[in-house]
Amino acid sequence: MIMRTVLRGLLLFCIALSSAAGQTVIDRIIAVVDKEIITESELRERTTLVAMQNRADPSNPDLRKQILEGMIAEKLILAQAIIDSVVVSDDEVAQALEQQLQNLIRQAGSERRIEEYYGMPISRIRREFRDDIRKQLLVQRVRQTREANLSVSRREVEEFFATYKDSLPSVPDQYELSNIFMVPKPDSSVEQRSRAFLRAILDSIKAGGDFADFAKRHSQDGTAASGGDLGWAKRGTFVPEFERVAFSLAEGGLSDIVHTEFGYHIIQLLERRGESVHVRHILLRLEKGAASDSATVEALRALRDRALAGESFADLARKYSEDEETKPLGGDLGTVTLDQLEPEFARVVEGLEEGEISEPNRVNLKSTYGFQIVKVRKKIPAHPMNLEDDYRRIEQFALFVKRNRKNAEWIEELKKTIYWEVRL
């Protein structure tokens, strides 16, 4: 919840968009792999983007060669996926495309900016890049299948460490952390008014009112402009309270008022295909004010005082914390380095000594926010990596190297059975 997350897949999507946007002249084909081609502009765009990400020189011929080899490897895996009849469903493609497109829109700031930059409406962008997303998913599926059971033995880890210990990075300062987290509660009168207003909307829709029109006028979600349409989604996409209701409705059915961490919803199921649903919703968010924040901060300060007076921090977390992932563990956040934390959280932790408990600090979440107090159970100073203290880290390095070696060997085997050529 508090750790930094990575928007996976966005880089490849940006590459696809950049490549398409850049192809305003006739491209030179520089490589052919089975039925796929790689063009000069695709390589140039990929090289530019990777160089930017890694602060490298895009004109470096070694970098260009390395990236071309990687693109050829992707095409070889795609060809093998087709030979092996690997498939991804239309729903999976639609979901991945929508997720990556929304990530891109968030970075750009709006749909309009994306449309202006690429000179086409969002609907056309979806059509243009659907096939690219399908290919990416096929490659990912094949790789995941091959790597699923790959592991390293203790002997392999020890041999890896003996070989590479002088080149392994030092371990930065590490912190064993626990937290108690609370979300400010809206004023009960505000909550009652929101439910009453949403009930009136629900009654109007049941009496024949237009769902999309009510969503456009009253929903406080980003989907309001599209009538509350959330598109197709598989199980696991929505928060549990929303998902339970969405999958229980009959097609065309309306839910009662549903409470989630986002606020209050009315949900309508438009269509269902197996384990995927197409739904729309109307959302009223529950606004919280200064009084709600103050009450939460004071509650956390009281718990901090109790812990400093000798009560078990873990017992207090189990009883009072609202972080459902760590609450059963006594608030245990595990062992982390500062670069694994959001910058604001890292600054709080960096100022604490072993055994100290922070003052309440704000935590921003996807749709809301909360406050937490954090205890540093143990601080492990920076040190050169060693097998006794850092076995798991070394194991991950060893697994990464083994995975790359196996993949390289596999690519060489694919080159013997699948047609490919470079036309430089």
Region 324-336 average pLDDT: 94
422 within a domain of the structure (yes/no): no
Region 274-299 average pLDDT: 88
pTM of this structure: 0.60
What pLDDT is stored for residue 193 in this prediction? 86
4 within a domain of the structure (yes/no): no
Q: According to the 3-state scheme, what is the secondary structure of the chain?
A: CCECCCCCCHHHHHHHHHHHHHCCCCCCEEEEECCEEEEHHHHHHHHHHHHHHHCCCCCCHHHHHHHHHHHHHHHHHHHHHHHCCCCCCHHHHHHHHHHHHHHHHHHHCCHHHHHHHHCCCHHHHHHHHHHHHHHHHHHHHHHHHHHCCCCCCHHHHHHHHHHHCCCCCCECCEEEEEEEEECCCCCHHHHHHHHHHHHHHHHHHHCCCCHHHHHHHHCCCCCHHHCCEEEEEECCCCCHHHHHHHHHCCCCCECCCEEECCEEEEEEEEEEECCEEEEEEEEECCCCCHHHHHHHHHHHHHHHHHHHCCCCHHHHHHHHCCCCCCHHHCCEEEEEEHHHECHHHHHHHHCCCCCCECCCEEEECCCCEEEEEEEEEEEECCECCCHHHHHHHHHHHHHHHHHHHHHHHHHHHHHHHCCEEECC
Which position has the higher pLDDT, 138 or 261?
138
Q: How confident is the model at residue 239 (pLDDT cuts 50, 70, 90)?
A: confident
345 within a domain of the structure (yes/no): yes
Average pLDDT score, the chain: 88
**309 in the same domain as 253:** no
Which position has the higher pLDDT, 104 or 411?
411
Kindly report the CATH number assigned to the domain that includes residue 121. 1.10.4030.10
Q: How confident is the model at residue 127 (pLDDT cuts 50, 70, 90)?
A: confident
Domain end marker among 284, 306, 340? 284
**159 in the same domain as 119:** no
Q: Specify the number of domains making up the chain.
A: 4
What pLDDT is stored for residue 213 in this prediction? 94
Range of the domain at 390: 154-167+385-401
421 within a domain of the structure (yes/no): no
Q: Burial-class residue 41 by CB neighbours within 10 Å (0-12, 13-18, 19+).
A: buried
- Exposure of 49 in the CB half-sphere (CA atoms within 13 A): 18
**318 in the same domain as 200:** no
Residue 408 pLDDT > 60, yes or no?
Answer: yes
Q: How confident is the model at residue 124 (pLDDT cuts 50, 70, 90)?
A: confident
**178 in the same domain as 162:** no
**252 in the same domain as 126:** no
**143 in the same domain as 205:** no
411 within a domain of the structure (yes/no): no
- Dihedral of CA atoms 338, 164, 63, 114 in degrees, nearest 10, equals -30
**123 in the same domain as 32:** yes
For residues 40 and 260, give the distance between their C-alpha atoms in angstroms, rounded to a whole number.
Answer: 49
**361 in the same domain as 390:** no
Place of tokens 């003996």: 162
Which position has the higher pLDDT, 222 or 414?
414
Kindly report the CATH number assigned to the domain that includes residue 316. 3.10.50.40
Tell me the per-residue pLDDT of 292-315, one tens digit each, with 9 for 90 and over.
889 999 999 999 999 999 999 999
Q: Chain-centre distance of CA 421, in angstroms?
A: 36
424 within a domain of the structure (yes/no): no
**195 in the same domain as 50:** no
Q: How confident is the model at residue 327 (pLDDT cuts 50, 70, 90)?
A: very high
Place of tokens 């600090």: 361
For residues 162 and 166, give the distance between their C-alpha atoms in angstroms, rounded to a whole number.
Answer: 9
Region 13-28 average pLDDT: 51
Residue 167 pLDDT > 70, yes or no?
Answer: yes
Region 349-374 average pLDDT: 90
361 within a domain of the structure (yes/no): yes
Which position has the higher pLDDT, 328 or 116?
328
- Specify the range with the lowest mean pLDDT, choosing from 29-33, 96-100, 166-170: 96-100
**179 in the same domain as 76:** no
Which position has the higher pLDDT, 96 or 53?
96
Residue 155 pLDDT > 50, yes or no?
Answer: yes
What pLDDT is stored for residue 71 in this prediction? 95
Domain end marker among 228, 251, 284? 284
**64 in the same domain as 39:** yes
Residue 24 pLDDT > 60, yes or no?
Answer: no
List the 276-284 sheet strands across, edge first. Answer: 229-234, 276-284, 263-273, 258-260
Task: Retrieve residue 43's tokens.
Answer: 């390589």
Tell me the per-residue pLDDT of 32-74, one tens digit each, with 9 for 90 and over.
999 999 999 999 988 988 888 788 898 899 999 999 999 999 9
Instruction: Please give the single-letter amino acid code of residue 34.
Output: D
Place of tokens 């590490």: 174
**127 in the same domain as 47:** yes
The answer to whether residues 67 and 46 touch, using CB atoms and an 8 Å cutoff, is: yes
Domain end marker among 266, 284, 302? 284
Q: Percentage of the chain surpassing pLDDT 90?
A: 62
364 within a domain of the structure (yes/no): yes
